Chain A
Amino acid sequence: MTEEVSLASQVASKWRKKRGSLIMALHEIQDVKGYVPWEDAVDIANGMNVPLARIYEVLTFYNFFKLDAPGKAVISVCTGTACYLKGNDKVLEEFKKQLGINEGESTSDRMFHLQVVRCVGCCGLAPVCVVNGKTYGRITPADVSKILEEWKNKLDEDKE
């Protein structure tokens, strides 16, 4: 908690004198944390003397800014032409079903984040998905539970 406050306060004091730099300050928070937490937005508001209401106007205007912590394992399902024709839409549906979320969302336990990408540059392996940098090729809906199981175990190990 103390660490969180100090990051936002540092960022705020860095940018407070420069006019029109709110977006830069918010970027810095998101770069470090992956999203902009409420507490950090409050600290930026106090530190830069900008109303909190204005900060949230900016945060919710730009799609880039995230207000919630993304999942620890980011699943990118490719729906580029090759992957799509090879049936990745069905794999995507299976991920949604098993995780109980839509694309662009995270599970409530913050374990998984599901997103759709357009081509990851290895069409020869189509259809593919990428989880935190690890690529899975020639996948079918039947592989989904295996992939999720693998990452659940991995994240549990990391926790311990």
Chain B
Amino acid sequence: MVNLKIDNFDVDVPAGTSILDAARTVQIDIPTLCKHPDVDPSAGCGICIVKVNGRIMRSCCTPVAEGMQIITSDPEIVNVRRTVLELILSNHPNECLNCIRSGHCELQDLTNTFGIRSSNLPSLNKKYEIDDSTHSIVLDPSKCIVCGRCVEVCQNQQNVWALSYLNRGLATKITAAGGIKLADSPCIKCGQCSAHCPTGAIVEYDETQKVWDMLADPELVTIVQIAPAVRVAIGEEFGYDFGENLTGKIYAALRRLGFNKIFDTNFGADLTIIEEATEFVRRFTKEPESLPMFTSCCPAWVDMLEKYHQDMIPNFSTCKSPQSMVGAMAKTYYAEKNAIDPAKIRVISVMPCTAKKWEIVRSEDMRSSGFQDVDVSITTRELARMIKQAGINFRALPEEKADNPLGEYSGAATIFGTTGGVMTAALRTAYFYITGEELENIDFKEIDGLEGVKEAEVDIKGIKVRIAVAHGAGNVETVLNRIREAKANGEELPYHFVEVMACRGGCVSGGGQPRVMMPGQPKPRGITDDIRKKRAQGLLNEDLQAKNRRSHHNESIKTLYKEYLGEPNGEKSHHLLHTHYEPRRKYSK
């Protein structure tokens, strides 16, 4: 332990702690801009300066030392911070009024905090072309302050290497390699860059107008579905605490927005489990050469596999994601049952994810109903904006129910939104399919939590099933390399079944989730492990309290198979609920 003095408080912290973190233990919130808890300090911006034994230093990258005397704020420090901000603002457009991040922008917040109302510095800001080529995320280099968080996350945390620095000095710009468009780069659309960007430089591709247009057309039947992770995050946009589950209010808000039918992606999650557990049992018992099997719900992971890990394509579950399954069922089963012309149906999905916008057009398989199965995919942030635009008092809304038949779901479905959830749900049903009995202990503590790669062995009546759960795209390679090594050496496979989610913590921390300035939340305000855990807990609690916690007991699903699909993995299922994968080039230029 190291003893030091911060603003006259005696502080006692472990060696290696930064001054920034040490100050937080005595309730001092040193302002930061480029530093984010998910990434190593880059010492880029200089906002977090403090006086260490009288010398001005950056607190984010300076570790504590025995006997340090630190002052975190005095008139001189405030002045330096103001100058740093003015310099950053001299290379930033003055467009807050029209900026999508207005009100939730870390730079705007600091500018207000330090009361910078005007500046004598001339503007050096250059207009760059906006890159919206992915139709998932939008990159506007003019608004970028080159803090480097997105690059650090894209290169090192996600191991995708789509984003990079171009040029140097004042001309530095964040782009894909050599200044090409993101759509031509290895970008997997996970949106973690936008989840970590402090300004409006990287944001979601806004498609709310498309949805308004559909809602305004009286000829159309509009069907909406919400993903599991949306329900425990959207509340942050309306002043609720992190992780509060607001499913009933969201249904009510969607109904008031004018959607004709309110369905739930969780229904699709239960359906996915029926198909995926059946597929796993088939591979495990009859086709061991096709093991391990990877989950396929995460579109960013699908994109990554097709670009980076083509040798693993045969190991990928052919199941579509819950979003796509609901889309396909809405335009076939639901349409037939209710004699609605599927050409008139529009399926809108609300997702925590920017890559879901890509998923709905990723291949011809996404038109299995004869139409595009999901027409528009909007993020949690976009739905919150629509609710606000419509003048709906969200907090005062009653709790309502989803519509039938694509609205019922089990506890197993709702945990799809957090790391380990898909695996847990699949094992509950796979156990039943293999043994004909119900699994007694249905929580798997080993695969819970934020460890990057989690492993466990599950005993299915004497048969050992080895599983792995990886989240944060950068952690996938560890798992894949273990598998490749075992295969190359002719050894027994380290795993039979692997769950992958591209975002750290899973969908609860997806690229489309709220990034709200909550009063009292420590800075920087954005996704952190603390928030990941709280949102995940919101989903885990719903599962714990659910009457039915197993996908195979979802009554609407049973009816669906009886009335329409026939057998899991049967011919109709294969056509509507499964897909295939093809190698994609990393660079398409």
Residue positions of A touching B, CB distance < 8 A: 38, 41-42, 51-57, 59-61, 67
Contacts and interface: CB of A to CB of B under 8 A. Distances in A.
Contacts of A51: 155, 161, 164, 177
A67 B168 CA distance: 15
11 contacts: A38-B178, A51-B164, A51-B177, A52-B161, A52-B586, A53-B176, A54-B161, A54-B164, A55-B177, A56-B164, A56-B166
Contact of A53 (B167, B177, B589): B177
A53 B168 contact: no
B474 to A, nearest CB: 13
A35 to B, nearest CB: 13
Contacts of A54: 155, 161, 164
With most chain A CB atoms within 10 A of its CB, the pick from B162, B176, B177, B589 is B177
B394 interface: no
Contact of A61 (B163, B167, B177): B167
Q: Which of A56, A59, A67 gathers the greatest number of chain B CB atoms within 10 Å?
A: A56
Given A38-B178, A51-B161, A52-B161, A57 B587 contact: no
Nearest to A67: B178
Contacts of B177: 51-53, 55-56
A126 to B, nearest CB: 34
A51 B155 CA distance: 9
Contact of A60 (B163, B167, B587): B167
B165 interface: yes
Interface of B: 155, 161-168, 176-179, 185, 586-587, 589
Nearest to B161: A51
A42 B165 contact: no
A59 B167 CA distance: 8
Most buried by B among A38, A52, A53, A67: A53
Given A38-B589, A52-B587, A59 B164 contact: no
A60 B161 contact: no
B338 to A, nearest CB: 50
Contacts of A60: 165-168, 178
B139 to A, nearest CB: 14
Nearest to B589: A38
Contacts of B587: 42, 52
Closest 10 CB pairs of A and B: A53-B164, A51-B161, A56-B178, A53-B177, A52-B177, A56-B177, A53-B161, A60-B167, A61-B168, A60-B166
Contacts of B166: 56-57, 60
Contacts of A57: 164-166
A52 B160 CA distance: 11
A54 B151 CA distance: 11
B168 to A, nearest CB: 5
Contacts of B155: 51, 53-54
Given A41-B178, A51-B177, A55-B177, 14 more contacts: A38-B589, A51-B161, A52-B161, A53-B162, A53-B177, A54-B155, A56-B177, A57-B165, A60-B166, A60-B167, A60-B178, A61-B165, A61-B168, A67-B178
A71 B556 CA distance: 70
Nearest to B166: A60
Contacts of A52: 161, 177-178, 586-587
A67 to B, nearest CB: 7
Contacts of A42: 587
A52 B180 CA distance: 11
Nearest to B165: A57
Contacts of B167: 60-61
A41 B168 CA distance: 19
A58 to B, nearest CB: 10
Contacts of A59: 178
A151 to B, nearest CB: 31
A59 B165 CA distance: 10
Contacts of A53: 155, 161-164, 176-177, 185
Contacts of B179: 56
A97 B168 CA distance: 29
A160 B4 CA distance: 79
A61 B380 CA distance: 38
Contacts of A67: 178
